[in-house]
Amino acid sequence: MTRDEVLDLLKQVHYPGLNRDLVSFGMVKDVEVLPEGVDVHLEVASKDPAIPGRLDEAVRAVLESRIHGRLQVFTRLTGGHGESENHDHHGHGHGHGHGAPDPNTMPKLLEQVKHVVAVASGKGGVGKSAVASNLAVALAAAGYRTGLLDADIYGPSVQLIMGSMERPFVQDNKIIPLEAHGVHMLSIGHLIEEDAAMIWRGPMVMQALTQLMQDVLWPELDFLVVDMPPGTGDAQLTMAQRVRLSGAVVVTTPQEVALIDARKAVTMFRKVGVPILGIVENMSWFQCPDTGKRHFIFGEGGGAREAERQQVPLLAELPIDIRIREGGDRGQPIVSQDPAYAEIFDNLVQAICRQLA
Ligand SMILES: Nc1ncnc2c1ncn2[C@@H]1O[C@H](COP(=O)(O)OP(=O)(O)OP(=O)(O)O)[C@@H](O)[C@H]1O
Ligand SMILES: [Mg+2]
């Protein structure tokens, strides 16, 4: 068997939990075909001690029956997020084995994007993904070249909301983003099996997120909207360190438990120097279709009060509307369905653009 034949077979070996193969990930450093057998040398930017064993198993499953003699799989872990930068032409050549490099000093990612805008919240389930998707569609409708990156590694939902569930193409080791509603987009949900990410630990989350920026052929864009996971953890830190964020939009519902968490998100972004573009209050009221009366189910005016306290604009108030939920579940964001919402989000677009001009 030749080296190329071995490489061809290695293209069938998926990285554990991901729908991509080791070769397209650039993890195969060398294949040696020797008289006594085959040596495969892998290099993986991870600290997870379980990885070498799992890769050994996966490679054996594909190769073992095909080669004569022994098979040896050597896996070198290059420790955590972003050491894969060593292969980057702009890399500063961080040495191996001298501790993890400082992500703050690594070259920034997504430099082809004019404005990267994070849509964040402290609390989960307040409507970040709904706001991020509709904002992206509204930006595209306003004529901006727009992308949408689902950074919620644990609970990706952009592929559902945007109605694009197909697998993206890979070209020259780069993933081509998908397109829907005029928006270039990609979610970890496009790359991995459902549920696979649930077991990921911190460094893997950061690595996956880095790959969504670095190994994806994001075109030149005016805006990239990033749908963040809830909270103030690894993903938020990775984004703040590796990308020049133009600003963050913080989504909250009007009640105190959500506002407390929104405050934490604001504080975190400020700490890392990311401007807060403002607050979007979601689920502000429910308008009874029979009587036309507004019911303030989660309380009234919480978003406005918090915006005042933080000295940031209240960018929008969105009612509870069954069509927002239905549109999200059907892959038809509400702004593409209803002119009233198109207007609300167009105002949001203008409020953001005024600040970033
Ligand atoms: N204004 C609204 N009216 C009705 N349903 C809404 C509204 N906003 C969001 N939803 C629905 O509520 C659910 C949660 O919203 P979404 O997924 O956008 O929240 P999230 O903050 O992104 O959640 P997570 O923290 O899990 O990422 C979704 O089913 C969504 O369609
Ligand atoms: Mg979400």
The domain limits of the chain are: 3-95, 113-356
Q: What is the CA radius of gyration of the chain?
A: 23
Strand partners, 43: 76
CATH number for 113-356: choose from 3.40.47.10, 3.60.40.10, 3.40.50.300, 2.40.30.30.
Answer: 3.40.50.300
**How is 246-280 classified by DSSP, letter by letter?**
EEEEEEE-SSHHHHHHHHHHHHHHHHTTPPEEEEE
Specify the ligand 1 atom closest to the Cα of 284. Answer: 1
316 lines ligand 1 (CB under 6 A): no
Residue with tokens 């913080």: 250
Strand partners, 17: none
CA of residue 248 to ligand 1 center, whole Å: 18
CA of residue 147 to ligand 1 center, whole Å: 20
Q: pLDDT in tens for each of the 357 residues of the chain? A: 899 999 999 999 988 777 778 887 778 888 989 888 899 999 887 777 788 888 999 999 999 888 888 898 988 887 654 333 333 333 333 334 445 667 777 889 999 999 999 999 999 999 999 999 999 999 999 999 999 999 998 888 999 999 998 899 988 889 999 999 999 999 988 887 766 656 666 778 888 899 999 999 999 999 999 999 988 888 888 898 899 999 999 999 999 999 999 999 999 999 888 999 999 999 999 999 999 999 999 999 999 999 999 999 999 999 999 999 999 999 999 999 999 999 999 999 999 999 997
Specify the ligand 1 atom closest to the Cα of 124. Answer: 25
Cα(130)–Cα(282) distance, integer angstroms: 10
Question: What is the residue with the minimal CA distance to atom 9 of ligand 1?
Answer: 127
Specify the ligand 1 atom closest to the Cα of 326. Answer: 31
CATH number for 3-95: choose from 3.30.56.10, 3.40.50.300, 3.30.300.130, 3.40.640.10.
Answer: 3.30.300.130
Task: Tell me which ligand sits closest to the C-alpha of residue 250.
Answer: 1
Give which of 96, 117, 100 is closest to 246, Cα–Cα: 117
Specify the ligand 1 atom closest to the Cα of 318. Answer: 1
Question: What is the residue with the minimal CA distance to atom 11 of ligand 1?
Answer: 325
Cα(60)–Cα(63) distance, integer angstroms: 5
252 lines ligand 1 (CB under 6 A): no
